[in-house]
């Protein structure tokens, strides 16, 4: 359990480092949301100009920053995101191998580490998803990528911080976070953000039948619960 918690806490600064840049990147992309969606959204048969270095001739315009060598930030960002994604999966694999070794070597600890392993597995999956969602911010804003950004951004961070908060409560001796109560508590906290993000998408896209547009204030409002989870997790971690 100590190794799992140590790995998770070592990834906390990485999660925080990606939370702020992705937020800023989303705000920057939102500045021209209406122009991108209403006037500049490419159709399925729009191809990329032939003179762009690094990209194929038949590449769709929305994927420009994934390969354009003149916009090197996209290539650098996707490289870092891919490395972070693989690193997170590597930690997840190491956690599963370690837990399997514990279960085979000591029968007495099988039931005691199950909840912790489940919680840390969700945390590493959320971290890998955070790195993966970076690609939706590199790809140009379209009616398809906009809901992906808004929904998965807050949901994945909420899952990561919920798992960390549940782990902190378990280490502090909180009764409801012991054993399998830890992943259950993390899922409960995570579900709140899923409901918030889903409700926003339903109200805007289904009920009002509007394009996926959002102001900076609306985007910040969607992150309030995530920031609360982050603040509480940081405060509780100071007790160790």
Could you count the other beta carbons within 10 Å of the beta carbon of residue 35?
Answer: 11
From 158, 138, 140, 178, select the one nearest 233 (Cα to Cα): 158
From 196, 212, 195, select the one nearest 204 (Cα to Cα): 212
- pLDDT confidence of residue 52: 62
Tens digit of pLDDT for each residue in 87-102?
999 999 999 999 888 8
Q: Are 116 and 181 in contact (CB under 8 A)?
A: no
HEC readout, 170-214: HHCCCHHHCCCHHHHHHHHHHHHHHHHHHHHHHHHHHHCCCCCCC
Query: Is the pLDDT score of 75 beyond 60?
Result: yes
Query: Is the pLDDT score of 226 beyond 60?
Result: yes
SS3 state of residue 47: strand
pLDDT confidence bin for 43, thresholds 50/70/90: very low
- pLDDT confidence of residue 18: 53
Query: Is the pLDDT score of 105 beyond 50?
Result: yes
Share the mean pLDDT of the chain: 79
pLDDT confidence bin for 26, thresholds 50/70/90: low
Question: Which helix (DSSP H) or strand (DSSP E) does residue 97 occupy?
Answer: helix 72-105
- pLDDT confidence of residue 191: 96
Question: What is the pLDDT averaged over residues 45-51?
Answer: 49
pLDDT confidence bin for 110, thresholds 50/70/90: low
The topology under which CATH files domain 2-237 is Rhopdopsin 7-helix transmembrane proteins (1.20.1070)
- pLDDT confidence of residue 47: 46
Any idea where the domains of the chain sit in the sequence? 2-237
How far is Cα 53 from Cα 66, in angstroms, rounded to an integer?
Answer: 11
Query: Is the pLDDT score of 30 beyond 70?
Result: no
Is the Cα torsion angle 29, 32, 33, 38 positive or negative in sign? negative
- pLDDT confidence of residue 51: 59
Alpha-carbon dihedral angle through residues 151, 227, 225, 161, given to the nearest 10 degrees: 70
Question: What is the pLDDT averaged over residues 131-147?
Answer: 87
Tens digit of pLDDT for each residue in 200-221?
888 877 777 777 776 778 888 8
- pLDDT confidence of residue 179: 85
- pLDDT confidence of residue 39: 37
Query: Is the pLDDT score of 193 beyond 60?
Result: yes
pLDDT confidence bin for 12, thresholds 50/70/90: low
- pLDDT confidence of residue 32: 44
- pLDDT confidence of residue 48: 45
Question: What is the pLDDT averaged over residues 104-122?
Answer: 81
């Amino acid at each position: 359990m100590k190794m799992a918690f140590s790995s998770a806490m070592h990834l906390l600064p990485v999660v925080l480092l990606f939370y702020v840049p992705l937020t800023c990147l989303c705000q920057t992309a939102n500045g021209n949301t209406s122009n991108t969606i209403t006037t500049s959204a490419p159709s399925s048969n729009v191809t990329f100009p032939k003179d762009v270095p690094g990209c194929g001739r038949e590449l769709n315009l929305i994927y420009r920053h994934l390969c354009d060598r003149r916009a090197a930030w996209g290539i650098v960002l996707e490289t870092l995101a891919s490395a972070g994604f693989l690193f997170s999966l590597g930690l997840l694999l190491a956690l599963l191998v370690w837990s399997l070794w514990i279960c085979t070597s000591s029968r007495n600890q099988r039931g005691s580490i199950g909840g912790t392993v489940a919680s840390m597995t969700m945390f590493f999956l959320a971290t890998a998803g955070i790195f993966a969602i970076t690609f939706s911010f590199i790809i140009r804003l379209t009616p398809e990528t906009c809901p992906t950004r808004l929904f998965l951004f807050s949901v994945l961070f909420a899952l990561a911080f919920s798992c960390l908060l549940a782990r902190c409560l378990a280490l502090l001796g909180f009764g409801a976070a012991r054993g399998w109560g830890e992943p259950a508590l993390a899922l409960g906290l995570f579900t709140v953000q899923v409901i918030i993000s889903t409700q926003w998408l339903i109200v805007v896209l289904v009920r009002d039948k509007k394009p996926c547009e959002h102001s900076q204030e609306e985007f910040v409002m969607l992150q309030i619960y995530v920031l609360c989870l982050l603040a509480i997790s940081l405060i509780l971690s100071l007790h160790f």
